[in-house]
Structure 1
Amino acid sequence: TTVQAMAKNTENNILWPDKYGWIPLHEAAYYGQDQCVGVLLGAQPSMINKCDLKGQTALILAVYREKVACVEMLLEKGADPDVANKDRETPLYKACESGNAEIVVMLLNHGAVVNKHCIQGCTALQEAVSRNNVEICEILVQAGAKLSPTNMYGIAPLFTAAQSGHKETLRFLIKHGADINSEASDGATALYEAAKNGHKDIVELLLSQDADANKAGNKGLLPLHIAAQRGADSIVSLLIKVTSKFRVNRSGVSPLHLAAECNRDAVVEVLIEAGYDVNAMLSDDRSMMYEDHRSTTLYFAVANGNVEATTMLLEAGAIPNLDTFNPLLVALRQGSIELVTLLVEHGANVNAYVPTHPTSFPATLIFGMKYLSMLKYLMDNGCDALSCFSCTYGSGPHPPHQETSERDDLRYNTNTCRSTGEPVQFCEIISTRWAGPIIDVLLNYVGHVKLCSRLTEHLDSLKDWEVIKEKATQSRPLMQLCRLEIRQQVGIHRLRCIKKLPLPPRLIKYLNHDERNQENVL
């Protein structure tokens, strides 16, 4: 009655919008007042398709709120079922969004266009698929909905179903002939997206329908790659059976690389058992993506401090000396004695250098001398201590020394390299603060040496280090020289298994520089 009176009163113009652009018709439709809708339209039929500031008609509002009676009233009064909002979403699209099959049928019966695209390029079918509503999908297809329209990202409904893990709508689309190997704008397939999102049942369904596991995206990655990266070991197991190793090799990156990089240990194990090459190298262009130009799976595992993955890779035959920057250097820089031990025991080069930053001594010492126990371990396993005492300046003046204030700052700095291009020497990078203990350890692994003026200067800086200086300047004991000779004759590889050699226990202890037992030997 009130609305009727308002409609008759010319002073109350029912076409006047509020600050949102709503007129009374919008209010009535939004709140489901179908009788009020009828009265208002009886008074002013021309306002039926009037839009608010968001481009919404009364019909769109009624559909969005699932007010069936209002939708029916508006359609019967001549509302246009294809007037879209500012996002180009039609009433049919909004009905699919809310999942109301009754309203979908009603709109289609009143001539709604089924294949219109919203501002992002999606159709009503795409929206129904994203809601996993098979009933509405069937209604739309019967009304002529195209199975494979793509949105602005090149994504088709089947891709959406796989991406979202909607098995029911995926089955429906496959049954009606949707292209199972269609690609999005980035080259990804439905199988790739299902693997990426961990939908094992979707992967199984797609593979059962002969989905191509060897289609790579624009970045060159296969579904197996992304599954390995995401840690979906069960999906990896499925994809291994249908993925060509030739295609994997062409990609320039092994799924092992990606699994190790993301600490997916279970996937690393599955791939190793499947025979994937633990020594596969990144292609040059992919290696260049990393500042350190890493190449091997082992490097990724060590860089992450992942002991379990490192162990699996080494036991499977990973070679620890293939990268430009040796993984042993990474483990030493991390201070991980567990990783260092693993690598050395599997043949890592304790005398590794960095080709891009030449030194006159092994680069392993740069990081190893942060911890005396680590330094001693390197020496025990054949690291070249003698090179630390070889100095081109000898007893003459040295270039200015850049002192480090903290032990953790004892690291290889590219600024240390001289403009002459000559290799950096040990005495140029050692800190005065820690020189004594480091030199003391090194002296146990060399014969007669002569300290340069810089090392002498370091030892002179602290009275307690006088004994270390004397140790260097005096003739080395015969027992020390014998130890060095025996170690050289036995060889580094055999020394690593020295406990298995047919030698007296006291001699083994002496060869291992076990100073606590040295008196017993003497």
Structure 2
Amino acid sequence: MDNFLAVVDDDDDVTTQYAAEQSMRDYYRQRNTVTEVHQKSVRRILSPEHDDIVTAIRSGQEESLQKLTDKTFAFNEADQRGWLPLHEAAVQLNKNILELTFEASNPTVREQTTLKGETPLFLAISHGLVENSNFLLLNGCNANAADWEGDSPLVIGADAKSQAADGASVMFEAAAGGNPDALTLLLDYGADANVSNHSGHLPIHRAAYRGHYQALAQLISVTDQDTIEESGMSPLHSAAAGGHPDCLQLLIKEGFDVNFMLHHRVRKGYDDERKSALYFAVSNGDTQSARLLLEARALPNQDPVKCLQVALRMGNYDLINLLLLHGANVNYFCRVNTTHFPSALQYALKDEVTLRMLLNYGYDVHKCFDCCYGDLPHFPDGYEGWTPAVIKDTMFCEVISLIWLKHLSGKLVRIMLDYTDYVKLCSKLKATITEQKEWPDIQHLLSNTRSLKHLCRLKIRKCMGRLHLRCPVFMTFLHLPKRLKDYILYKEYDLYGQGRLTALH
């Protein structure tokens, strides 16, 4: 459509030209395409006066333009882009040029759009020309005029450059550009901030995504909460997706719900079916935004793919620790890689720092030593390496005995024993770790009684429950010495915390 060129038979017949162009636009809007052959065969014929007018406008020659104002027909001719001289004047810095062009143009075309759906007001807003915008609004241009796709003039879903191409909202353009003066102007002239585009986005979403703090502050007061809920998404999602902690902080301060979840119709646009604003922050590796949301009591376990799983996959210690500190479920199960033991361990097999974090926050170690075969062989007759179970199927002993992982088995089991009392090794796991250098130490622990101090710690942790271990803030309610609390929480094995302290010193 960008290259569509129409034929004009009579330069003086403005009405016929305009009707023909509108008809052809409707046709190609339905077709949504123009063949290459037709593009080459059709040409728009413009008068010499039109070319002189456009040249005068672009060069800012007021006197030359004044002399041409009596050529009314030429001011109503559109080029191959659908641009009238009025569109050209709307994007010029010289407001006098716009005023002259506006007066010379037929009133019937003052709201005409380009082939990309841009009104003169839209173009003035998109170029940040507030004085031009003010002039157009003062002279009756509609801040809420819908584009030829039927979208509200307040809404557009693409970025600043493609917004004009989509032919949409002057208000949305102002929000995307973060122009507070333009927003104020449009709002003063009745622009509606509560009309969404075809994808459901409101101007407040665009301002939050772009990180335009002042524009966002303006839009908060004029955007209805009911409209935001109907859109299926919160500006918090937009601010988190765009990575703008200052905007997040403003929205939280203004009372936006940090646990507002994406509507299903929005979620289905993401392969991971994410729901929370926190997920956007975590997936961006944005620790600052994630901290703001968590400190405002965002729930970390609401998404189908857990935020902790995303942080583990990224290997981001700060995010992992932050999520665990605010109650992320260390014992989640992944829907894709089905295992009998909690899935988080898969990301910590080679990383003791991460492994210790998981174990300190209540990882279910006993699940790793739970094997249905026990001392029996693991390959009975007819065993094909898979069972009818859909989830929680593959056992730890099967995973860690794989040829490319078995060299990690000794160190992994030795660390796990710091968080257990007595465990029994199945035949396969035992056969695997007896080949490792850690086997003598493991054998010593398994064949001797653990210390009373260690057993007491395990008992207290069991009484606390995994929910309390996931949220160490509960420890503040226990009337125990700090040294004892640290022991219960395995602070001596907190490699992440020790590393941070070392870095600070």
TM-score (norm 2): 0.76
- For the residues of structure 2 that align with 1:216 and 1:463, how far apart are their CA atoms? 64
Q: Which residue pairs with 2:69 in the alignment?
A: 108
| Partner AA of 1:457 in structure 2 | A
Q: Is the Cα–Cα contact under 8 Å of residues 293 and 324 in structure 1 kept in the other structure?
A: yes
Change (3 A) 1:379 1:99: same
Change (3 A) 1:477 1:117: same
Q: Which residue pairs with 2:166 in the alignment?
A: none
| CA-CA distance at 1:357 after TM superposition | 4.3
Q: Which residue pairs with 2:145 in the alignment?
A: 182
Q: Is the Cα–Cα contact under 8 Å of residues 86 and 105 in structure 2 kept in the other structure?
A: no
Q: Is the Cα–Cα contact under 8 Å of residues 261 and 301 in structure 1 kept in the other structure?
A: yes
| CA-CA distance at 1:222 after TM superposition | 0.7
- For the residues of structure 1 that align with 2:242 and 2:386, how far apart are their CA atoms? 34
Larger radius of gyration: 1
Q: Where does 1:40-439 land on structure 2 (aligned, <5 Å)?
A: 84=46, 90-109=51-70, 112-145=73-106, 146-185=109-148, 187=151, 188=155, 189-398=169-378, 421=390, 423-430=393-400, 431-439=405-413
Change (3 A) 1:150 1:110: closer
Count of paired positions: 419
| CA-CA distance at 1:506 after TM superposition | 6.1
- For the residues of structure 1 that align with 2:190 and 2:315, how far apart are their CA atoms? 49
- For the residues of structure 1 that align with 2:71 and 2:438, how far apart are their CA atoms? 99
| CA-CA distance at 1:456 after TM superposition | 1.8
- For the residues of structure 2 that align with 1:340 and 1:300, how far apart are their CA atoms? 15
| Partner AA of 2:428 in structure 1 | R
Q: Is the Cα–Cα contact under 8 Å of residues 46 and 77 in structure 2 kept in the other structure?
A: no
- For the residues of structure 2 that align with 1:142 and 1:85, how far apart are their CA atoms? 20
Change (3 A) 1:398 1:91: farther
Deviates more, 1:255-264 or 1:103-112: 103-112
Deviates more, 1:469-478 or 1:288-297: 469-478
Change (3 A) 1:182 1:321: same
| CA-CA distance at 1:352 after TM superposition | 1.5
Identity among equivalent pairs (%):
35
| Partner AA of 2:488 in structure 1 | L
| Partner AA of 2:121 in structure 1 | L
| CA-CA distance at 1:207 after TM superposition | 1.2
Q: Give CA-to-partner distance per residue, 1:295-320, whole Å, 9 cap, x none.
A: 10111111222221111111111111
Q: Is the Cα–Cα contact under 8 Å of residues 92 and 104 in structure 1 kept in the other structure?
A: yes
| CA-CA distance at 1:276 after TM superposition | 0.8
- For the residues of structure 1 that align with 2:294 and 2:344, how far apart are their CA atoms? 20
- For the residues of structure 2 that align with 1:444 and 1:168, how far apart are their CA atoms? 71
Q: Which residue pairs with 2:382 in the alignment?
A: none
Change (3 A) 1:383 1:421: same
Q: Is the Cα–Cα contact under 8 Å of residues 89 and 119 in structure 1 kept in the other structure?
A: no
| Partner AA of 1:249 in structure 2 | E
Change (3 A) 1:303 1:96: same
Q: Which residue pairs with 2:432 in the alignment?
A: 458
Task: Give 3-state SS (helix, strand or coil) of 2:74's partner.
Answer: coil
Q: Is the Cα–Cα contact under 8 Å of residues 153 and 184 in structure 1 kept in the other structure?
A: no
Question: What 5-or-longer segments of structure 2 have no aligned partner?
Answer: 1-43, 156-168, 380-384, 494-505
Deviates more, 1:454-463 or 1:118-127: 454-463
Q: Where does 1:453-492 land on structure 2 (aligned, <5 Å)?
A: 453-472=427-446, 476=450, 479-492=453-466
- For the residues of structure 1 that align with 2:491 and 2:209, how far apart are their CA atoms? 45
- For the residues of structure 1 that align with 2:434 and 2:136, how far apart are their CA atoms? 83
Q: Give CA-to-partner distance per residue, 1:258-309, whole Å, 9 cap, x none.
A: 1111211111011111111100111223222222221101111112222211
| CA-CA distance at 1:476 after TM superposition | 4.9
Q: Which residue pairs with 2:23 in the alignment?
A: none
Bigger relative contact order, structure 1 or 2 (CA pairs below 8 A, ≥6 apart): 2
| CA-CA distance at 1:190 after TM superposition | 0.8
- For the residues of structure 1 that align with 2:483 and 2:66, how far apart are their CA atoms? 93
* CA-atom RMSD in angstroms: 2.8
| Partner AA of 1:426 in structure 2 | F
| Partner AA of 1:236 in structure 2 | L
Q: Is the Cα–Cα contact under 8 Å of residues 214 and 247 in structure 1 kept in the other structure?
A: yes
Q: Is the Cα–Cα contact under 8 Å of residues 333 and 368 in structure 1 kept in the other structure?
A: no
Question: What 5-or-longer segments of structure 1 have no aligned partner?
Answer: 1-81, 400-415, 517-522
Change (3 A) 1:488 1:427: same
Q: Which residue pairs with 1:55 in the alignment?
A: none
**Equivalent residue for 1:445, pick from 399, 419, 440:** 419
TM-score (norm 1): 0.74
Change (3 A) 1:494 1:325: closer
| CA-CA distance at 1:514 after TM superposition | 5.9
Q: Where does 1:9-48 land on structure 2 (aligned, <5 Å)?
A: none
- For the residues of structure 2 that align with 1:515 and 1:137, how far apart are their CA atoms? 73
